[in-house]
Amino acid sequence: MYITQISVYLENDHGTLRTLTKTLADAGIDMLGMSIADTANFGIARIVVREADFNGAITALINAGFMARKNKVLCAAVPNKPAGLDSVLAVIEANGIFIEYMYSFNYNLAGNALLIVRLSSDKMDEDAIAGILSESGVKLVSQDEVNAL
């Protein structure tokens, strides 16, 4: 139920992000979604690409000198209407699950907005977290569905 995201460490220097986008552009990678966590000292770019681009993106980034690795996140299809996101977060909150970060990206899947969430829990493993969300009516998007975007 999880999809793969690519995370990249960014130094807080002028031009670092451009180097990243140029690297992916030169490798012909189509970014489906992206977000950047910024701190005073560094940043982390999180990028969603199709499965066919995993290796190409990682290889290009590493060759360009980046620390890049894959990790698993949930992709939720959120009703594109008022209270859509709130209904998803209500489930997360009610089950005592923590949100490490989340971001939405600019694709529409059958009237739904797409939301990437990285969740954690003291009590549940990642499969249990995904299970609870599904059981509670949150529509989780598979890697295959992302690949078809």
Instruction: Write out the residues near another protein by the rule CB under 8 A.
Output: 5, 7, 9, 11, 37, 39, 41-42, 44, 46, 62, 65-67, 69, 71, 73, 100-101, 118
| Nearest residue (CB) to another protein, 42 versus 55 | 42
Q: Which residues, in sequence order, are CB contacts of 136 under 8 Å at separation 6+?
A: 91, 94, 95
Say if CB 36 and CB 75 are below 8 A apart: no
Instruction: Work out how close the CB of 8 gets to another protein at its nearest, in angstroms, rounded to a whole number.
Output: 9
Instruction: Work out how close the CB of 91 gets to another protein at its nearest, in angstroms, rounded to a whole number.
Output: 21
| Nearest residue (CB) to another protein, 25 versus 99 | 99
Taking the CA of residue 99 as centre, how many other CA atoms within 13 Å lie in the half-sphere pointing to its CB? 14
| Nearest residue (CB) to another protein, 25 versus 67 | 67
Query: Which residues are registered as beta bridge partners of 47?
Result: 6, 34
Instruction: Work out how close the CB of 9 gets to another protein at its nearest, in angstroms, rounded to a whole number.
Output: 6
DSSP string, 52-82: GGHHHHHHHHHHTT--EEEEEEEEEEEESST
| Nearest residue (CB) to another protein, 69 versus 81 | 69
